Amino acid sequence: MTTLQERTVADVVTENIKAAHIFKKYGIDFCCGGGISIKRACEKAKINPDILETELLSLDSVPDRASDYNSWKLDFLTDHIINLHHGYVEESSPLLLQYSKRVNHVHGHHYTELGEIEILVKKVVQTLAAHMKKEELILFPFIKKLVKAEREGSEIPSIHFGTVENPIKMMEEEHEEAGEILRRIAVLSNNFTPPQGACNTYRAFYSKLDEFEQDLHQHVHLENNILFPKALNLEKILKN
């Protein structure tokens, strides 16, 4: 029988989304890097796995139905991702761009890391904007067609990209790229910690960056660990 520490981070979060908060607290990546065991993740983060296990076991074992994403239909899950996470990115991006430009202009002469942070904010905003369009116009509509084919017992529609695995692989690579940009920002900003005596705009900027990263982790988790594996499996079933 597999012990809790032998299970992957991604599996535990998929089973109970509340576990994400514990992994986040200890700096453990549960989205892009969630495919490793809890024990290995703790070794990398230099954390006592027994302490983490105790906290995970203290969670309510019955997930909230509203956030039991693993039980949702794939077409419903794609709509949720677009409405909640894509909507959040589109709403937050202009604000982050304004904050980064303003804070760098006012404080960049003293805190020189702000220049690089401004460049990285522009990069992650552009990366995610293009990424989300590909999902909304290509990948997600095809996943919905797979769900419809399963429901109606019909043939899989022909597609120019061959198999759903191809766009999924591209999306996963772009997730890693966006995640790496935000990890770099986190390092430069001391984990989004403003300097002593920072003005309200500076503090608001770092707070928004922290929130943005947390949303991306949830966003990527839903896709990499739930939506994409299930879409791959559904296509496989329909082809047999």
In order of start, what are the domains of the chain with their CATH numbers? 4-67 (1.10.3910), 73-239 (no CATH)
Q: What pLDDT, on a 0 to 100 scale, did the predictor assign at position 30?
A: 79
Q: What pLDDT, on a 0 to 100 scale, did the predictor assign at position 68?
A: 80
Q: What pLDDT, on a 0 to 100 scale, did the predictor assign at position 234?
A: 95
Q: Which two tokens stand for residue 221?
A: 């988790």
Q: What pLDDT, on a 0 to 100 scale, did the predictor assign at position 83?
A: 95
Low-confidence stretches of the chain (pLDDT < 70) are 32, 60-67
Q: What pLDDT, on a 0 to 100 scale, did the predictor assign at position 64?
A: 53
> Which residue in 208, 174, 175, 176 sits closest to 189, CA to CA?
208
Q: What pLDDT, on a 0 to 100 scale, did the predictor assign at position 13?
A: 82
Q: What pLDDT, on a 0 to 100 scale, did the predictor assign at position 239?
A: 86
| Count of helices and strands (H, E) across the chain | 11, 0
Q: What pLDDT, on a 0 to 100 scale, did the predictor assign at position 159?
A: 78
Q: What pLDDT, on a 0 to 100 scale, did the predictor assign at position 60?
A: 61
Q: What pLDDT, on a 0 to 100 scale, did the predictor assign at position 67?
A: 66
The structure's pTM equals: 0.78
Which residues are CB-contacts of 182 (< 8 A; sequence separation ≥ 6)? 124, 209, 212, 213, 216
Q: Cα angle vertex 66, ends 65, 71, to 5°?
A: 60
Q: What pLDDT, on a 0 to 100 scale, did the predictor assign at position 17?
A: 72
CB atoms within 10 A of CB 31: 24
3-state secondary structure of 37: strand
Question: Sign of the C-alpha dihedral, residues 14, 16, 21, 25?
Answer: negative
